[in-house]
Amino acid sequence: MKAMLSTVAGGPDTLELTELAAPKPKKGEILIGVRAAGVNFPDTLIIRDLYQVKPPRPFAPGGEIAGDIEALGEGVQGFAIGDRVLALSSHGGFVSHIAIDARKATKIPDNMPYDEAACFVLTYGTSYHALKNRAAIKPGESLLVLGAAGGVGVAAIELGKAMGAKVIAAVSSEEKARFCRDVGADAALVYPRDLDRDAQKALSGQIKDLAGPEGVNVVYDAVGGAYAEPSIRAMAWEGRFLVVGFPAGIPKIALNLTLLKGCQIVGVFWGAWVARDPAAHAENMRELFQMYSDGKIKPRISASFPLERAAEALQMLEDRKVMGKVVLNID
């Protein structure tokens, strides 16, 4: 089988395409012939040893895949050889074959292509959990999405609209703003890449201008850094600030703002929640597949690469050039 392996800590250029023996599924596992693998920002971190999970080397990055079941391990029920599935793992997905715990796999609808399936569960799962379970967003509320042109950001736009919110997309360029409006955002603003205090105040003003004088009800922060505080300053009373990620750095927040706004800062650790409450996750997935079938959500794939060009895909993410999702198509 083919595998794109991280053999030393470093950037995308350190990955090595390798031929390995195909694994055999152990008890409770299924063997998946991988047809597509989603490429996500955590993949750029895990190969540099900067992610929460630090697997022993050599390992393949890649946390979400889609393909066909080729073999069943002892005791596996509910699946059959030939089933089309998607599956999640912290790593191991940039391969042509993977043996994985059957509990991490989900059958996909017949009308869902492999590339869309490989770009589905992490982004939509994270964003739906954030908006539904953590923010309890209501129809008519306003939603600000920071980093809205990325994978989870685009999912948050679509889901916010499907849940009846007024969605404001915040991005780093006018090109990305146009993209987010095309996805369905009601409004978009462009923030500068570097924020001093004056720029932070200006950003708060922009948010209030678009959300209304009361401020924004829910902030979905997939950026962090200096963008967090001005967003909280623009929040409405009893707003919810969702901590999703911080590629711009871990923000330092003056906690008196939460008192003044009567607002909540809410962590979104989707992977841990899935492990702790698989039944609720399964319910969310059923609802997401229904929204997909109804045409309310659809992965926006901006670039596709073969497995041997995985380094280019990861570099696109690191360079912040991605709008929507990037996928590897695997023969």
Give the CATH number for residue 322: 3.90.180.10
Residue 262 and residue 186 share a domain: yes
- Average pLDDT score over residue span 299-326: 94
Residue 135 and residue 96 share a domain: no
Residue 264 and residue 154 share a domain: yes
Residue 152 and residue 23 share a domain: no
291 domain residue, yes or no = no
Residue 199 and residue 97 share a domain: no
The model's pLDDT over 251-276, given as tens digits with 9 standing for 90+, comes to 999 999 999 999 999 999 998 999 99
User: How far is the C-alpha of 98 from the C-alpha of 12, rounded, in Å?
Assistant: 21
Confidence of residue 16 (pLDDT cuts 50, 70, 90): very high
Residue 254 and residue 196 share a domain: yes
The model's pLDDT over 154-190, given as tens digits with 9 standing for 90+, comes to 999 999 999 999 999 999 999 999 999 999 999 999 9
Residue 155 and residue 261 share a domain: yes
**pTM, to two decimals:** 0.91
Tell me, what's the pLDDT at 322?
Answer: 87
Confidence of residue 139 (pLDDT cuts 50, 70, 90): very high
Tell me, what's the pLDDT at 52?
Answer: 82
> Does 57 score more than 90 pLDDT?
yes
Q: Which residue has the higher pLDDT, 322 or 184?
A: 184
Confidence of residue 331 (pLDDT cuts 50, 70, 90): confident
Confidence of residue 98 (pLDDT cuts 50, 70, 90): very high
Q: What's the whole-number average pLDDT of the chain?
A: 95
Tell me, what's the pLDDT at 301?
Answer: 95
- Average pLDDT score over residue span 126-144: 98
Q: Which residue has the higher pLDDT, 248 or 98?
A: 98
Domain count, the chain: 2
The model's pLDDT over 280-301, given as tens digits with 9 standing for 90+, comes to 999 999 999 999 999 999 999 9
283 domain residue, yes or no = no
Residue 134 and residue 86 share a domain: no
Tell me, what's the pLDDT at 38?
Answer: 97
Segments forming the whole domain that contains residue 201 = 122-271
> Does 321 score more than 90 pLDDT?
no
290 domain residue, yes or no = no
Tell me, what's the pLDDT at 247?
Answer: 87
161 domain residue, yes or no = yes
Residue 312 and residue 247 share a domain: no
Confidence of residue 108 (pLDDT cuts 50, 70, 90): very high
